[in-house]
Amino acid sequence: MDKKGTLTTGIIQRVENRNVIVNIGKTDAIMPQKEQIPGEYYKPGNRIRVFVLNVKETTRLPQVIVSHAHAEIVRELFELEVPEIEDGIVEIKSISREAGYRTKIAVWSNDPEVDSVGACIGPRGSRIQTIVGELKNEKIDIVRYSEDPVEYIVNALSPARVVSVDIMADDEYAHEAMVVVPDDQLSLAIGREGQNVRLAHKLTGWKIDIKSVSQMEKAEAQSFENNYNEDEVEETSSVIDEDELQQEIEEEMNQQAYDEEDLPQEEAVEEDETSEEI
């Protein structure tokens, strides 16, 4: 129970029904398949660092659930390797991870004289290399945290270059941004199978829609053309309505004039008919 929510070292015992059994001292822990790194081979006898997810009470012995894919493993490794994080000078703000492939970690320095990213990388990259080696060469992007959402999103999408960021929605219901990147940076910004933008979304909490410069220009041109056509239709409809109204007025005036001309003739005819009868 004391180790719950912490990183611990164990020895792989065996693999049963796709579950890896890890001895963590006084007891054996279970690593379910969903907590394993995809493609990782777990060889009995090898030492492994795992994150203690949960401890469940059973009728016999407590059942310990551990993970090798949890994002908190990355946090624990950085705390072990970076003294500034352990001392509270550098703070880990957010972590997003797709175990075995890539991790993004956002860091912030409480001391203006301490570079948060540089502290995590270490002299000649010694600190980050140790962590990457522990994670079996998993790619790690160290992102500088910012309270400005535009700057934070730009940093989170690294290594891709960003042309502009437009905030589309920022309230309690939604956080959405439109990001424009150079044409040659679109695939890098999105990442393989959308991995880079997906991790950036998890890291920042913002829904990010990415378009290239040419795509944005095409969309704006299409929008302008649609608005122009709508205005043209409205103007044509207005002209048609005015013409119809004028035509109705002229027909009404002609009918009125026709009725006035016919009225005396009818009266005269009636008088003649009366005289003949008399």
To the nearest 10 degrees (0 to 180), the angle between helices 126-134 and 71-81 is 140
Confidence of residue 223 (pLDDT cuts 50, 70, 90): confident
* CA atoms of 237 and 231, how far apart (whole Å): 10
Q: Give the domains, in start order, of the chain with CATH numbers.
A: 7-68 (2.40.50.140), 70-145 (3.30.300.20)
Tell me the two tokens of residue 31. Answer: 């690593």
Instruction: Return the closest-CA partner of residue 79 out of 59, 49, 100.
Output: 49
Question: If you write DSSP's letter for every residue of 63-99 in order, what string do you get?
Answer: EEEEESS-HHHHHHHHHHH-HHHHTTSEEEEEEEEET
pLDDT at 274: 45
Output the CA–CA distances (angstroms, integers) from residue 88 to 29, 68, 85, 93, 170, in the order listed: 31, 26, 5, 12, 30
Lowest mean pLDDT among 158-167, 220-229, 249-258, 267-276: 267-276
Mean pLDDT of 73-88: 93
| Report for 4-8, 24-28, 175-179: range of highest mean pLDDT | 175-179
Tell me the two tokens of residue 252. Answer: 């009404």
As a whole number of angstroms, the longest Cα–Cα distance in the chain is: 138
Instruction: Return the closest-CA partner of residue 181 out of 143, 211, 222, 158.
Output: 211
pLDDT of residue 266 exceeding 80, the answer is: no
| Report for 6-10, 110-114, 253-257: range of highest mean pLDDT | 110-114
pLDDT at 99: 93
Lowest mean pLDDT among 52-61, 76-85, 140-149: 52-61
Higher pLDDT, 56 or 123: 123
Rounded (to 5) percent helix, strand, coil in the chain: 45, 30, 25
Q: pLDDT digit string (tens) for 97-119?
A: 999 999 999 999 999 999 999 99
* CA atoms of 62 and 27, how far apart (whole Å): 9
Instruction: Return the closest-CA partner of residue 153 out of 203, 191, 195.
Output: 203
